[in-house]
C-alpha cells in the first residue's frame, strides 16, 4: 500500500482486514497472561458459566482486531498515537474456532488547531465472526501526520548537498 497521510483520509472511507482464526489454546494462553478469569482459562469452569462455555477475553479480541488493522498498513506511514477509544462493546462471545475479520470506516477527519504537522482521524471498527455477526465494535481516534512537504524537503536537501 502507498504511504497514507492525513490528507488521504475522508469520511466514509472503508477498509477490510484479512481474517484470523482463534483456537481454544490461544484463548487460554492469552487469558492466563492478561485476563486470568476461569471462564477464559478453564474449559470445565467455563461450562458452568452463564455464557455456556469458553470464550475469548475481550482484550484478546481487541488485540487480534488491532493487529489485523495494523497489518493493512493503512496507518504505517502516518500514525503518531491513539488519542482515545470509546463505545467498546462485545455483543456476542468469541468462541474457539471462530474466524475474525475487521471492517473499519472513517467517521471524522479533523486538522489539528495547534499543530500544523498533524490531524486526527476517527474510525469505527467492527469485528465480525465467520457468520458475519459482530463480536466487537469500538471507535478509535488516531493522531496522524500530514504529508511531509516534499518540495521544501527537496530544497533543503539541495541546500545541504544531499543526494
Report the interface residues with its own copies, using CB under 8 A: 33-37, 49-51, 58-59, 62-63, 66-67, 70, 75, 79-90, 93, 118, 138
CB closer to its own copies out of 11 and 76? 76
Radius of gyration of the CA atoms of the chain, in A: 20
Interatomic CA distance for residues 16 and 105, integer angstroms? 9
Grid cell locating 6 = 492525513
How far is 152 from 163, CA to CA, in rounded Å?
Answer: 15
C-alpha cell at 74: 493503512
Nearer to its own copies, 65 or 106 (CB): 65
Pick between residue 79 and residue 120 the one whose CB is nearest to its own copies.
79
Distance of closest approach, residue 113 Cβ to its own copies, in angstroms: 17
Residue 103: CB minimum distance to its own copies, A: 19
Report the nearest approach of its own copies to the CB of residue 137 (Å). Answer: 10
* Minimum CB distance to its own copies, residue 83 (Å): 8
Q: Is 97 left (phi over 0), alpha (psi -120 to 50) or beta?
A: left
Query: Is the CB of 13 or the CB of 112 nearer to its own copies?
Result: 112
Q: Least Å distance between CB 71 and its own copies?
A: 8
Q: Is 25 helix (H, G, I), strand (E, B) or coil?
A: helix
Residue with Cβ nearer its own copies (82 or 111)? 82
Strand 118-128, strand 134-145: pairing: antiparallel
Pairing relation of β-strands 14-16 and 99-111? antiparallel
Amino acid at each position: 500500500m502507498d504511504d497514507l497521510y492525513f490528507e488521504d483520509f475522508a469520511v466514509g472511507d472503508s477498509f477490510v482486514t484479512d481474517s484470523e482464526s482463534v483456537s481454544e489454546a490461544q484463548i487460554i494462553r492469552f487469558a492466563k497472561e492478561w485476563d486470568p478469569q476461569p471462564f477464559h482459562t478453564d474449559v470445565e469452569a467455563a461450562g458452568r458459566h452463564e455464557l455456556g462455555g469458553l470464550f475469548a477475553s475481550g482484550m484478546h479480541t481487541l488485540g487480534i482486531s488491532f493487529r489485523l488493522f495494523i497489518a493493512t498498513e493503512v496507518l504505517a506511514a502516518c500514525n503518531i498515537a491513539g488519542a482515545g477509544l470509546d463505545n467498546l462493546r462485545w455483543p456476542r462471545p468469541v468462541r474457539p474456532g471462530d474466524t475474525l475479520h475487521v471492517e473499519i470506516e472513517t467517521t471524522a477527519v479533523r486538522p489539528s488547531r495547534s499543530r500544523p504537522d498533524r490531524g486526527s482521524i476517527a474510525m469505527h471498527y467492527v469485528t465480525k465472526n465467520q457468520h458475519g455477526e459482530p463480536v466487537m465494535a469500538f471507535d478509535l481516534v488516531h493522531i496522524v501526520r500530514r504529508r511531509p512537504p516534499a518540495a521544501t524537503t527537496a530544497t533543503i536537501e539541495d541546500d545541504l548537498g544531499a543526494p
